[in-house]
Amino acid sequence: MPILEIETPKLKELLFNFKRYSAISEKWIQRAIEASAAELHKAANRENVPWRTGRLVQSFQVAIGRLFAKVWPSAK
């Protein structure tokens, strides 16, 4: 019966990085969230938002935190 042997030369390093995956990937996810919020804020313009006085378009705000972003109008 044939025997199959598999070696993983840097197994300890691989396991260490799997444990750190969330810390490594968080900065890239945060950048994607910030870029998405910027695109949404940029899209809140006269072409996409109802326009009468312009107060609604001018009132859009952005809040960015750890792994979240919020884009909203503050006009009443």
pLDDT in tens, 24-50: 889 899 999 999 999 999 998 888 888
Structure token digits, residue 71? 């884009």
pLDDT at 47: 86
pTM of the predicted model as reported, rounded to 2 decimal places? 0.68
The pLDDT assigned to 4 comes to 78
Average pLDDT score over residue span 9-36: 89
Nearest Cα to Cα of residue 46 among 58, 62, 30:
58
Tell me the mean pLDDT in the region 11-31: 88
2: DSSP letter: -
Q: Which residues pair with 14 in a beta bridge?
A: none
Predicted confidence (pLDDT) per residue in 51-75, tens digit: 888 899 899 999 999 999 999 999 9
